[in-house]
Amino acid sequence: MLSRLLTRGASLRATTASLGRLYTTTRLLHTTAPRFAAKVSPAEVTSILEERIAGFKDHKDVDEVGLVLSVADGIARIYGLNNVQAGEMVEFSCGLKGMALNLETDNVGVVVFGEDRNILEGDSVKRTKAIVDVPVGKELLGRVVDGLGNPIDDMGPINAKLRTRVEVKAPGIIPRQSVSEPMSTGLKAVDSLIPIGRGQRELIIGDRQTGKTAIAVDTILNQKQVNENPDPTKHLYCVYVAIGQKRSTVAQIVEILRKFG
Protein backbone atom coordinates (compact mmCIF):
# COMPACT_ATOMS: atom_id res chain seq x y z
CA MET A 1 0.00 0.00 0.00
CA LEU A 2 2.81 2.37 0.89
CA SER A 3 4.59 1.59 -2.35
CA ARG A 4 1.47 2.41 -4.36
CA LEU A 5 1.15 5.78 -2.64
CA LEU A 6 4.79 6.56 -3.32
CA THR A 7 4.34 5.64 -6.98
CA ARG A 8 1.25 7.85 -7.30
CA GLY A 9 3.06 10.72 -5.63
CA ALA A 10 5.99 10.43 -8.01
CA SER A 11 3.61 10.34 -10.99
CA LEU A 12 1.78 13.44 -9.77
CA ARG A 13 5.06 15.29 -9.29
CA ALA A 14 6.17 14.34 -12.83
CA THR A 15 2.85 15.49 -14.28
CA THR A 16 3.03 18.74 -12.34
CA ALA A 17 6.57 19.35 -13.59
CA SER A 18 5.51 18.70 -17.21
CA LEU A 19 2.59 21.09 -16.89
CA GLY A 20 4.94 23.67 -15.39
CA ARG A 21 7.36 23.40 -18.31
CA LEU A 22 4.47 23.62 -20.81
CA TYR A 23 3.13 26.73 -19.05
CA THR A 24 6.59 28.31 -19.05
CA THR A 25 7.04 27.59 -22.77
CA THR A 26 3.61 29.05 -23.54
CA ARG A 27 4.46 32.22 -21.62
CA LEU A 28 7.76 32.56 -23.48
CA LEU A 29 6.05 32.22 -26.85
CA HIS A 30 3.37 34.66 -25.84
CA THR A 31 5.90 37.24 -24.67
CA THR A 32 8.29 36.88 -27.67
CA ALA A 33 5.60 37.01 -30.39
CA PRO A 34 5.11 40.80 -30.07
CA ARG A 35 8.89 41.23 -30.27
CA PHE A 36 9.03 39.49 -33.68
CA ALA A 37 6.00 41.47 -34.82
CA ALA A 38 7.66 44.68 -33.71
CA LYS A 39 10.96 43.88 -35.45
CA VAL A 40 9.54 43.07 -38.94
CA SER A 41 6.57 45.16 -40.02
CA PRO A 42 4.57 44.54 -43.22
CA ALA A 43 6.03 47.70 -44.77
CA GLU A 44 9.55 46.43 -44.15
CA VAL A 45 8.69 43.05 -45.65
CA THR A 46 7.31 44.82 -48.72
CA SER A 47 10.43 46.96 -49.09
CA ILE A 48 12.69 43.92 -48.76
CA LEU A 49 10.74 42.06 -51.45
CA GLU A 50 10.86 45.09 -53.74
CA GLU A 51 14.64 45.33 -53.33
CA ARG A 52 15.04 41.64 -54.09
CA ILE A 53 12.86 41.92 -57.20
CA ALA A 54 14.68 45.06 -58.36
CA GLY A 55 18.02 43.31 -57.97
CA PHE A 56 16.91 40.42 -60.14
CA LYS A 57 18.19 40.83 -63.69
CA ASP A 58 17.19 38.67 -66.62
CA HIS A 59 19.75 38.84 -69.44
CA LYS A 60 17.76 36.86 -71.99
CA ASP A 61 17.72 38.48 -75.43
CA VAL A 62 14.61 38.01 -77.53
CA ASP A 63 15.11 38.25 -81.30
CA GLU A 64 12.38 39.06 -83.77
CA VAL A 65 12.63 36.41 -86.47
CA GLY A 66 10.93 36.13 -89.86
CA LEU A 67 10.90 33.60 -92.69
CA VAL A 68 11.98 33.91 -96.32
CA LEU A 69 9.02 33.71 -98.69
CA SER A 70 10.99 34.07 -101.91
CA VAL A 71 14.33 35.31 -103.21
CA ALA A 72 15.29 36.39 -106.72
CA ASP A 73 17.63 38.90 -108.34
CA GLY A 74 19.11 39.94 -105.00
CA ILE A 75 15.72 40.76 -103.44
CA ALA A 76 14.26 38.62 -100.65
CA ARG A 77 10.65 38.73 -99.47
CA ILE A 78 10.41 38.23 -95.70
CA TYR A 79 7.34 37.41 -93.62
CA GLY A 80 7.12 38.04 -89.89
CA LEU A 81 9.32 41.11 -89.36
CA ASN A 82 6.42 43.36 -88.38
CA ASN A 83 8.49 45.90 -86.42
CA VAL A 84 11.45 46.21 -88.78
CA GLN A 85 12.53 49.74 -89.72
CA ALA A 86 13.21 51.10 -93.18
CA GLY A 87 16.94 50.86 -93.83
CA GLU A 88 17.52 48.42 -90.96
CA MET A 89 20.12 45.69 -91.26
CA VAL A 90 18.79 42.12 -91.10
CA GLU A 91 20.76 38.88 -90.88
CA PHE A 92 19.92 35.62 -92.65
CA SER A 93 20.51 32.21 -91.12
CA CYS A 94 23.29 31.53 -93.66
CA GLY A 95 25.26 34.55 -92.39
CA LEU A 96 24.43 36.98 -95.19
CA LYS A 97 23.07 40.40 -94.36
CA GLY A 98 20.59 42.65 -96.07
CA MET A 99 18.80 45.98 -95.79
CA ALA A 100 15.04 46.32 -95.38
CA LEU A 101 13.62 48.69 -98.00
CA ASN A 102 10.01 47.92 -98.96
CA LEU A 103 7.78 47.76 -95.88
CA GLU A 104 4.51 46.24 -97.07
CA THR A 105 1.49 45.01 -95.12
CA ASP A 106 2.21 41.29 -95.42
CA ASN A 107 5.95 41.13 -96.18
CA VAL A 108 9.19 43.08 -96.24
CA GLY A 109 11.45 43.53 -99.26
CA VAL A 110 15.12 43.11 -98.34
CA VAL A 111 18.15 43.86 -100.52
CA VAL A 112 20.66 41.04 -100.08
CA PHE A 113 24.31 41.99 -99.58
CA GLY A 114 25.94 39.02 -101.30
CA GLU A 115 25.09 35.96 -103.35
CA ASP A 116 21.40 35.18 -102.93
CA ARG A 117 21.98 31.58 -104.05
CA ASN A 118 22.86 30.74 -100.44
CA ILE A 119 19.38 31.82 -99.26
CA LEU A 120 16.56 29.28 -99.47
CA GLU A 121 12.82 29.57 -99.05
CA GLY A 122 11.90 29.05 -95.41
CA ASP A 123 15.23 30.27 -94.00
CA SER A 124 15.04 32.37 -90.87
CA VAL A 125 15.86 36.08 -90.82
CA LYS A 126 16.38 38.14 -87.67
CA ARG A 127 16.50 41.83 -86.95
CA THR A 128 19.69 43.55 -85.83
CA LYS A 129 17.88 46.73 -84.69
CA ALA A 130 20.63 48.80 -86.33
CA ILE A 131 20.29 51.10 -89.34
CA VAL A 132 22.77 50.35 -92.13
CA ASP A 133 25.82 52.59 -91.80
CA VAL A 134 29.34 52.67 -93.23
CA PRO A 135 32.71 54.01 -92.04
CA VAL A 136 33.76 57.39 -93.41
CA GLY A 137 36.88 59.52 -93.20
CA LYS A 138 40.36 59.86 -94.64
CA GLU A 139 41.23 56.42 -93.29
CA LEU A 140 39.51 54.97 -96.37
CA LEU A 141 41.78 56.76 -98.85
CA GLY A 142 43.82 54.28 -100.88
CA ARG A 143 41.73 51.29 -99.79
CA VAL A 144 39.38 48.96 -101.65
CA VAL A 145 36.12 48.28 -99.83
CA ASP A 146 32.78 46.64 -100.55
CA GLY A 147 29.38 48.29 -100.37
CA LEU A 148 29.37 48.18 -96.55
CA GLY A 149 32.85 49.62 -96.12
CA ASN A 150 34.53 46.30 -95.32
CA PRO A 151 38.09 46.07 -96.69
CA ILE A 152 38.63 43.56 -99.51
CA ASP A 153 42.22 44.44 -100.42
CA ASP A 154 44.00 42.26 -97.81
CA MET A 155 45.61 45.34 -96.24
CA GLY A 156 44.21 44.96 -92.75
CA PRO A 157 41.23 46.55 -91.03
CA ILE A 158 40.14 50.15 -91.49
CA ASN A 159 40.21 52.07 -88.21
CA ALA A 160 37.71 54.74 -89.16
CA LYS A 161 36.63 57.04 -86.35
CA LEU A 162 33.34 58.13 -87.92
CA ARG A 163 30.38 56.30 -89.37
CA THR A 164 27.35 57.58 -91.25
CA ARG A 165 24.08 56.07 -92.38
CA VAL A 166 23.71 54.91 -95.95
CA GLU A 167 20.25 56.37 -96.46
CA VAL A 168 20.49 60.11 -95.76
CA LYS A 169 18.53 63.02 -97.13
CA ALA A 170 20.42 64.99 -99.76
CA PRO A 171 21.00 68.67 -98.89
CA GLY A 172 18.79 71.22 -100.58
CA ILE A 173 19.84 73.78 -103.14
CA ILE A 174 20.39 76.56 -100.58
CA PRO A 175 22.91 74.76 -98.31
CA ARG A 176 24.98 73.69 -101.32
CA GLN A 177 28.01 75.76 -102.26
CA SER A 178 28.02 77.31 -105.70
CA VAL A 179 30.29 75.88 -108.39
CA SER A 180 32.92 78.60 -108.78
CA GLU A 181 36.25 76.77 -109.11
CA PRO A 182 37.26 74.92 -112.28
CA MET A 183 38.52 71.35 -112.29
CA SER A 184 41.04 70.26 -114.87
CA THR A 185 40.51 66.75 -116.21
CA GLY A 186 43.73 66.69 -118.22
CA LEU A 187 41.77 65.94 -121.39
CA LYS A 188 42.02 68.88 -123.81
CA ALA A 189 38.77 68.08 -125.59
CA VAL A 190 36.83 68.11 -122.33
CA ASP A 191 38.57 71.08 -120.72
CA SER A 192 38.18 73.26 -123.84
CA LEU A 193 34.69 72.32 -125.04
CA ILE A 194 32.80 71.37 -121.86
CA PRO A 195 34.78 72.63 -118.84
CA ILE A 196 33.86 71.07 -115.50
CA GLY A 197 33.80 72.79 -112.11
CA ARG A 198 34.38 71.37 -108.64
CA GLY A 199 31.18 70.05 -107.18
CA GLN A 200 29.53 69.68 -110.57
CA ARG A 201 27.78 66.51 -111.68
CA GLU A 202 28.71 65.29 -115.13
CA LEU A 203 27.29 62.24 -116.90
CA ILE A 204 29.53 60.18 -119.14
CA ILE A 205 27.28 58.18 -121.45
CA GLY A 206 28.09 55.99 -124.43
CA ASP A 207 28.01 52.51 -125.88
CA ARG A 208 30.08 49.60 -124.65
CA GLN A 209 33.83 49.69 -125.15
CA THR A 210 33.85 53.37 -126.15
CA GLY A 211 36.23 54.56 -123.41
CA LYS A 212 33.90 55.80 -120.66
CA THR A 213 35.93 54.12 -117.91
CA ALA A 214 39.17 55.34 -119.49
CA ILE A 215 37.97 58.96 -119.32
CA ALA A 216 37.09 58.60 -115.63
CA VAL A 217 40.35 56.85 -114.73
CA ASP A 218 42.47 59.37 -116.66
CA THR A 219 40.69 62.22 -114.89
CA ILE A 220 41.50 60.64 -111.52
CA LEU A 221 45.15 60.11 -112.44
CA ASN A 222 45.50 63.71 -113.64
CA GLN A 223 44.58 64.96 -110.14
CA LYS A 224 47.89 63.65 -108.76
CA GLN A 225 49.62 66.96 -109.46
CA VAL A 226 46.81 68.86 -107.73
CA ASN A 227 47.05 66.68 -104.63
CA GLU A 228 50.80 67.33 -104.36
CA ASN A 229 49.99 70.92 -103.38
CA PRO A 230 51.08 71.57 -99.76
CA ASP A 231 47.77 73.37 -99.14
CA PRO A 232 45.31 70.63 -98.08
CA THR A 233 42.34 72.81 -99.02
CA LYS A 234 43.36 72.50 -102.67
CA HIS A 235 43.38 68.71 -102.65
CA LEU A 236 40.79 66.88 -104.73
CA TYR A 237 39.95 63.42 -103.41
CA CYS A 238 38.62 60.99 -106.01
CA VAL A 239 36.51 57.89 -105.35
CA TYR A 240 35.96 55.26 -108.02
CA VAL A 241 32.81 53.16 -107.56
CA ALA A 242 32.36 49.97 -109.59
CA ILE A 243 28.75 48.79 -109.90
CA GLY A 244 28.09 45.45 -111.55
CA GLN A 245 31.68 45.10 -112.75
CA LYS A 246 33.62 41.88 -112.94
CA ARG A 247 36.23 41.25 -110.27
CA SER A 248 38.92 41.04 -112.94
CA THR A 249 37.97 44.46 -114.31
CA VAL A 250 37.99 45.99 -110.83
CA ALA A 251 41.38 44.41 -110.10
CA GLN A 252 42.83 45.94 -113.28
CA ILE A 253 41.55 49.41 -112.40
CA VAL A 254 42.90 49.11 -108.84
CA GLU A 255 46.30 48.11 -110.20
CA ILE A 256 46.35 51.11 -112.58
CA LEU A 257 45.40 53.55 -109.82
CA ARG A 258 48.07 52.16 -107.48
CA LYS A 259 50.75 52.22 -110.16
CA PHE A 260 50.16 55.68 -111.60
CA GLY A 261 48.06 57.37 -108.92
CATH number for the domain including 98? 2.40.30.20
Domain of residue 125 covers 65-132
User: What is the predicted pLDDT for the residue at 230?
Assistant: 85
**CB-side exposure of 13: number of CA atoms within 13 Å?**
6
Q: Does residue 95 carry a pLDDT above 60?
A: yes
User: What is the predicted pLDDT for the residue at 8?
Assistant: 45
> If you average pLDDT over every residue of the chain, what do you get?
82
CB contact at 8 A, 235 and 229: yes
Banded model confidence at residue 144, pLDDT cuts 50, 70, 90: very high
254 vs 248: CA distance, rounded Å: 10
Q: Does residue 170 carry a pLDDT above 80?
A: yes
Higher-confidence position of 86 and 10: 86
DSSP SS3 for 9: helix
Is residue 149 assigned to a domain?
A: yes
User: What is the predicted pLDDT for the residue at 51?
Assistant: 80
Is residue 91 assigned to a domain?
A: yes
Is residue 174 assigned to a domain?
A: no
Helix (H) or strand (E) holding 197: strand 196-197
Is residue 29 assigned to a domain?
A: no
Is residue 24 assigned to a domain?
A: no
Q: What is the number of domains present in the chain?
A: 3
Out of 145, 168, 191, a domain closes at 168
Is residue 9 assigned to a domain?
A: no
Banded model confidence at residue 87, pLDDT cuts 50, 70, 90: very high
Q: For the residues 83-111, what does the mean pLDDT come to? A: 93
10 vs 222: CA distance, rounded Å: 125
CA–CA distances in Å: residue 203 to residues 59, 200, 216 = 53, 10, 11
Whether residues 255 and 185 fall in one domain? yes
Is residue 185 assigned to a domain?
A: yes
Banded model confidence at residue 131, pLDDT cuts 50, 70, 90: very high
Is residue 81 assigned to a domain?
A: yes
User: Picking from 48-57, 102-111, 189-198, 242-251, which range would have the lowest pLDDT averaged per residue?
Assistant: 48-57
Whether residues 120 and 143 fall in one domain? no
